[in-house]
């Protein structure tokens, strides 16, 4: 089956061209002017933009936390992603079995039957010994080339600096990339203990017990470890101005260190956590200040920050009240678990479906970035850094036909009605957006047609990623 997208304007990271796109089965076969293909299904994209499907490299589906589980699984989360123009998502595998292979097998049992878009995974390295060290290179045969380490969550997820250094050296030799959650776990534990003993239990104290200085220091420390290991490093969910400063310094020193940020850190602040519904904004790391927002925007503009991801990890605001999802009543315990104690609120936000529509209005329409830069940070750079390019992240012959036809003139009032996350709130409720995906293709199959969902569980394909990916 061939599909011909005619009359649109193709936007890639480097080019804006008027051309038709011919899709043959799952691949882009040809780009050109006035293509004629008698047997093809013709899609009229006149006055529309033709973008690569988004690549979100930071998502958490069905993640157990704080006595519950994140409310999107690999079907509902992938569906939400697709409605927002994203066609590839990378999840994280928890180190909760004896061996890494067992962890990967268990994750596949959960993800594979549900996946509705193409997907891959990172491996969390949350404990370290000689046995784990010997198993890490074997992940490459499983298509997993990225490892995540933490400098926070003491006695749960955190590794010590020497252990992180060892992980980085193993990763470097195998052509893998180490990702780092950068906060100061020691300071956080002290401040949380003091807040509890002082009776400061409202949501805003989640932010006040995780200072921005801890994140700033941890980025510099991670950069130092990477420099000494001679290894590349990727800083996840950058949220503080000081982190951008440290990343800029590291890059000026010639270190192969990259970073991502997320939409929530551009638009919201600690003040949102002080609202009556402040639990909606609890994630880790937390929201910061308006000055931090501004520096993150600057980091994106100047190319210091290379990727826009989401850290999608949704929970119900009130999991005692069911919502209707695909004609089924769903209620999953959520942030109400910490109604009287911020330390018991599950950390995480919905976002996988919001990223591209919200940023188009607030970055492209506002003049903060060009459409090409938008594609670069949402599609192409993540595909390159994480070993997916050119299969994903671009529109060119031979690439997978992952395409979002974008209507730049479409006006919507955004919120839970359009986001399709399986939760009961949206951070951008009531926001006016101009520019929205109209049709979305995954490997040549139309899965979103306006408000109609055509995707299916199990249609997503696990992508075996390649080692020695690009360092940008």
Chain position carrying tokens 């769903």 = 330
CA distances in angstroms from 273 to 70, 333, 366, listed in the order given: 20, 20, 26
- Tell me how far apart the alpha carbons of residues 16 and 83 are, in angstroms, rounded to a whole number: 23
Over the stretch 404-428, which tens digit does the pLDDT of each residue have?
999 999 999 999 989 999 999 999 9
Pairing of strands 445-449, 2-6: unpaired
Predicted confidence (pLDDT) at residue 105 exceeds the cutoff of 90: yes
pLDDT band at 1 (very low <50, low <70, confident <90, very high): confident
**Strands, E assignment, 277-364:** 307-308, 323-325, 328-330
CA distances in angstroms from 253 to 250, 260, 300, listed in the order given: 5, 19, 19
Structure confidence at residue 415 (pLDDT): 97
Burial (0-12, 13-18, 19+ Cβ within 10 Å), 197 = exposed
Note whether 151 and 186 are within 8 A (CB). no
Q: Where are the domains of the chain?
A: 2-52+394-453, 54-382
Over the stretch 328-354, which tens digit does the pLDDT of each residue have?
999 999 999 999 999 999 999 999 999
- Tell me how far apart the alpha carbons of residues 225 and 165 are, in angstroms, rounded to a whole number: 6
Over the stretch 157-211, which tens digit does the pLDDT of each residue have?
999 999 999 999 999 999 999 999 999 999 999 999 999 999 999 999 999 999 9
Mean pLDDT throughout 22-40?
A: 96
Nearest alpha carbon to residue 8 among 37, 38, 42 = 42
pLDDT band at 469 (very low <50, low <70, confident <90, very high): very high
Mean pLDDT throughout 440-451?
A: 98
Please give the share of the chain, as a percent, with pLDDT higher than 90: 100
Question: Could you tell me if residue 175 is left (phi over 0), alpha (psi between -120 and 50 degrees) or otherwise beta?
Answer: left
Over the stretch 285-322, which tens digit does the pLDDT of each residue have?
999 999 999 999 999 999 999 999 999 999 999 999 99
The pTM is what? 0.97
pLDDT, the chain, mean = 98
Chain position carrying tokens 């600096």 = 161
Domain 54-382 annotated CATH 2.60.40.10 = no
The H or E element spanning position 403 is strand 403-413
- Tell me how far apart the alpha carbons of residues 164 and 152 are, in angstroms, rounded to a whole number: 12
Structure confidence at residue 379 (pLDDT): 98
Question: Could you tell me if residue 160 is left (phi over 0), alpha (psi between -120 and 50 degrees) or otherwise beta?
Answer: beta
Pairing of strands 64-65, 68-69: antiparallel
Under CATH, domain 2-52+394-453 is a member of which superfamily?
Answer: Urease, subunit C, domain 1 (2.30.40.10)
Over the stretch 209-250, which tens digit does the pLDDT of each residue have?
999 999 999 999 999 999 999 999 999 999 999 999 999 999
* Residue 163 neighbours by CB distance under 10 Å: 17
Please give the share of the chain, as a percent, with pLDDT higher than 70: 100
- Enumerate residues 6+ apart whose C-beta is below 8 A from 130: none
């Amino acid at each position: 089956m061939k599909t011909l997208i005619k009359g649109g304007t193709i936007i890639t990271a480097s080019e804006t061209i008027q051309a038709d796109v011919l899709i043959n089965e799952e691949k882009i076969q040809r780009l050109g002017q006035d293509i004629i293909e008698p047997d093809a299904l013709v899609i009229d994209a006149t006055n529309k933009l033709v973008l690569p499907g988004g690549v979100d490299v930071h998502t958490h589906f069905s993640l157990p936390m704080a006595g519950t589980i994140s409310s999107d699984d690999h079907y509902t989360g992938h569906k939400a992603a697709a409605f927002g123009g994203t066609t590839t998502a990378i999840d994280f595998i928890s180190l909760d079995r004896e061996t890494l292979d067992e962890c990967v097998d268990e994750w596949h049992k959960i993800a594979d039957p549900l996946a509705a878009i193409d997907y891959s995974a990172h491996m969390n390295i949350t404990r370290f010994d000689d046995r784990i060290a010997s198993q890490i290179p074997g992940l490459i045969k499983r298509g997993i080339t990225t490892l995540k380490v933490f400098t926070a969550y003491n006695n749960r997820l955190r590794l010590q600096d020497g252990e992180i250094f060892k992980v980085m050296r193993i990763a470097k030799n195998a052509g893998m990339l180490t990702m780092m959650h950068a906060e100061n776990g020691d300071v956080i534990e002290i401040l949380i203990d003091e807040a509890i003993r002082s009776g400061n239990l409202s949501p805003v104290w989640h932010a006040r017990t995780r200072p921005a200085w801890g994140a700033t220091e941890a980025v510099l420390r991670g950069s130092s470890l990477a420099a000494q290991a001679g290894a590349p490093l990727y800083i996840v969910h950058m949220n503080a101005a000081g982190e951008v400063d440290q990343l800029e310094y590291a890059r000026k020193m010639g270190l192969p260190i990259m970073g991502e940020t997320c939409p929530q850190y551009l638009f919201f602040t600690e003040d949102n956590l002080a609202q009556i519904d402040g639990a909606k904004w609890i994630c880790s790391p937390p929201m910061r200040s308006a000055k931090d927002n501004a520096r993150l925007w600057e980091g994106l503009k100047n190319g210091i920050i290379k990727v826009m991801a989401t850290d999608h990890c949704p929970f119900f605001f009130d999991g005692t009240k069911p919502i209707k999802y695909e004609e089924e009543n769903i209620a999953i315990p959520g942030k109400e678990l910490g109604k009287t104690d911020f330390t018991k609120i599950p950390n995480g936000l919905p976002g996988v479906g919001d990223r591209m529509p919200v940023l188009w209005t607030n970055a492209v329409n506002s003049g903060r970035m060009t459409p090409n830069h938008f594609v670069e940070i949402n599609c192409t750079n993540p595909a390159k850094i994480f070993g997916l390019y050119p299969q994903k992240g671009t529109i060119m012959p031979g690439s997978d036909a992952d395409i979002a036809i974008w209507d730049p003139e479409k006006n919507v009032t955004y919120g839970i009605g359009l986001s399709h996350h399986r939760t009961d709130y949206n951070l951008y409720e009531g926001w006016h957006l101009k520019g929205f995906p109209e049709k979305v293709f995954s490997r040549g199959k139309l899965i979103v047609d306006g408000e109609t969902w055509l995707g299916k569980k199990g249609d997503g394909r696990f992508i075996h990623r390649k080692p020695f990916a690009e360092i940008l």
